[in-house]
């Protein structure tokens, strides 16, 4: 059975010159508007209108200097960094000013309404910057590359989680300056502070538990629960109160993506944790840690996946070909094969209203695909 959505031409977003490893949409803001952020190995992340794909902002990285501007909010920053590429993610907030740009494995930033930025590059200390004054506020000490960062789903989060090649899940308290090491929130950490910034108190969750690089961190709707996906092919749920894993789940293959899929059409929706690993997609309950709702198997290696629970649709991208495939969640029937990219699809994401989805590819382009029957955006 084919999809009941008429075939339309996708919108192609040009501007990047190298592969696009990650993209994501913001939450809804004024007048049901939303935004799209994309990362690229050309060192120039881009912010776009989420409905039309029109370019709004480019973040330019030149050799050892990164200059970024968000023109409509007046934020500007200049950071020393060796390389800028990876993935960027909006924190699910109601305003454009509260925006998280998460870039892995080399660097991550955090733009907030108050104008702070969080950055990490290679083995250098990770730093929190004030984007209005250029002041370095805090230093987050790591001994290796940071691959993932996450803030709790709050309007003004005061803590953040990091993970990467150290195989350590760290929690940093941005309200407390002082020492930091892997297990104690009060012990000093080695390394220079730089720029007069103070190191941040941190502690490690589950020392020695991860058997591989931490590739993804997801903060659940429950403030106390964190999810990590690592190269040891395990997804783990952590309780911050006990600092121990609640449960872990071993997947059958290398993890490509791990995302919490939620929709604005479902207020207080806990979402579905979607994990693409090997030739399977795992769908976990967003409330109950480790509760597997469904596992779908495919004939190809799945590099990325996203779910629209309202319409019962799953979209996948593969490392083996250049197509995006749409499936019925209930019957697992393949409904559509979207062709147009000229390289593997590394990232898939639904818009906050679920009426379109975006794909980011090795070919350096982003495509927006209509996912509703009624006229929408530029599709009339």
Tell me phi and psi for residue 316, to 5 degrees. Answer: -125, 155
In the predicted model, is pLDDT for residue 141 greater than 90?
no
**By mean pLDDT, which of 33-42, 237-246, 276-285, 354-363 is the weakest?**
33-42
Asked if residue 27 belongs to a domain, the reply is yes
Q: Mind listing the pLDDT tens digit for each residue in 163-206?
A: 889 999 999 888 876 544 444 433 333 334 444 455 677 889 99
Average pLDDT in the chain: 77
Asked if residue 71 belongs to a domain, the reply is yes
Query: What token pair was written down for 70?
Result: 């968000």
Angle at 92 between CA 184 and CA 28, to 5 degrees: 170
Cα gap 76→357, rounded to integer Å: 29
In the predicted model, is pLDDT for residue 329 greater than 60?
yes
Domain count, the chain: 1
The average pLDDT across 149-160 equals 79
HEC string for the chain:
CCCCCCCCCCEEECCCCCCCCEEEECCCCHHHCCEEEEECCCCCCEEEECCCCCEEEEEEEECCEEEEEECCCCEEEEEECCCCCCCCCCCCCCCCCCEEECCCCCCCEEECCCCEEEECCCCCCEEEEECCCCCEEEEECCCCCEEEEECCCCCCCCEEEEEECCCCEEEEEEEEECCCCCCCCCCCCCCCCCCCCEEEEEEEECCCCCCCCEEEEEECCCCCEEEEEECCCEEEEEECCCCEEEEEEECCCCEEEEEEECCCCCCCCCCEEEEEECCEEEEEECCCCCCEEEEEECCCCEEEEEEECCCCEEEEEECCCCCEEEEECCCCCEEEEECCCCCCEEEEEECCCCCEEEEEECCCCEEEEECCCCCECCEC
Smallest CA-to-CA distance from 138 within 147, 148, 129 is with 129
The average pLDDT across 22-30 equals 83
In the predicted model, is pLDDT for residue 116 greater than 70?
no
Q: Mind listing the pLDDT tens digit for each residue in 360-379?
A: 999 999 999 999 999 999 99
| Percent of the chain clearing pLDDT 70 (strictly above) | 71
Provide the domain limits for residue 94. 11-370
Smallest CA-to-CA distance from 313 within 291, 288, 287, 281 is with 281
Asked if residue 63 belongs to a domain, the reply is yes
**By mean pLDDT, which of 39-48, 109-118, 209-218, 317-326 is the weakest?**
109-118
CATH of the domain at 237: 2.130.10.10
Query: What token pair was written down for 377?
Result: 């955006």
In the predicted model, is pLDDT for residue 302 greater than 50?
yes
Asked if residue 378 belongs to a domain, the reply is no
Give the position of tokens 């600092």: 243
CB 225 within 8 A of CB 239: yes
Asked if residue 237 belongs to a domain, the reply is yes
Q: So what's the pLDDT on residue 300?
A: 96
Query: What token pair was written down for 148?
Result: 């993932």
Asked if residue 159 belongs to a domain, the reply is yes
Q: Mind listing the pLDDT tens digit for each residue in 270-292?
A: 899 999 999 999 999 999 999 99
Asked if residue 315 belongs to a domain, the reply is yes
Angle at 43 between CA 196 and CA 191, to 5 degrees: 25
Query: What token pair was written down for 193?
Result: 């502070």
Query: What token pair was written down for 233?
Result: 């092919």
Q: So what's the pLDDT on residue 173?
A: 86
Q: How many residues does the chain have?
A: 380
Does this model's pTM top 0.95? My answer is: no
The average pLDDT across 348-369 equals 95
Give the position of tokens 């000013």: 97
In the predicted model, is pLDDT for residue 25 greater than 70?
yes
Asked if residue 376 belongs to a domain, the reply is no
């Amino acid at each position: 059975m084919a999809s009941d959505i008429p075939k339309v031409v996708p919108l192609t977003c040009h501007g990047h010159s190298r592969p696009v490893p990650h993209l994501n949409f913001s939450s809804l803001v004024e007048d049901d508007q939303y935004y799209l952020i994309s990362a690229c190995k050309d060192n120039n992340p881009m912010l776009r209108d989420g409905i039309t794909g029109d370019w709004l902002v480019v973040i330019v990285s030149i050799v050892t200097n990164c200059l970024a501007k968000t023109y409509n909010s007046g934020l500007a920053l200049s950071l020393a960094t060796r390389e800028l590429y990876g993935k960027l993610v909006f924190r699910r907030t109601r305003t454009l000013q509260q925006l998280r740009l998460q870039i892995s494995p080399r660097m991550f930033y955090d733009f907030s309404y108050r104008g702070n930025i969080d950055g990490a590059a290679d083995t250098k200390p990770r730093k929190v910057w004030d984007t209005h004054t250029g002041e370095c506020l805090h230093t987050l000490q790591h001994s290796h590359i940071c691959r993932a960062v996450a803030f709790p789903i709050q309007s003004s989060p005061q803590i953040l989680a990091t993970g990467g090649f150290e195989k350590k899940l760290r929690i940093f308290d941005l309200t407390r300056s002082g020492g930091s090491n892997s297990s104690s929130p009060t012990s000093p950490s080695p390394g220079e502070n730089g720029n007069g910034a103070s190191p941040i108190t941190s502690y490690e969750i589950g020392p020695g538990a991860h058997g591989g690089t931490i590739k993804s961190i997801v903060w659940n709707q429950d403030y106390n629960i964190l999810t990590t996906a690592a190269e040891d092919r395990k997804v783990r749920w952590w309780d911050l109160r006990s600092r121990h894993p609640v449960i872990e789940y071993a997947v059958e293959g290398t993890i490509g993506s791990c995302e919490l899929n939620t929709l604005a059409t479902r207020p207080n929706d806990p979402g579905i944790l979607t994990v693409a690993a090997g030739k399977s997609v795992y769908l976990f309950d967003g409330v109950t840690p480790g509760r597997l709702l469904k596992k779908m198997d495919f004939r190809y290696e799945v590099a990325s996946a996203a779910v629209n629970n309202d319409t019962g649709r799953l979209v996948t991208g593969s490392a083996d070909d250049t197509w995006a495939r749409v499936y019925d969640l209930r019957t697992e029937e393949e409904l559509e094969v979207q062709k147009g990219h000229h390289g593997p699809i590394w990232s898939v994401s639904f818009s906050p209203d679920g009426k379109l989805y975006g794909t980011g590819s090795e070919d350096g382009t982003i495509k927006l695909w209509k996912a509703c029957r009624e006229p929408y955006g530029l599709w009339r």
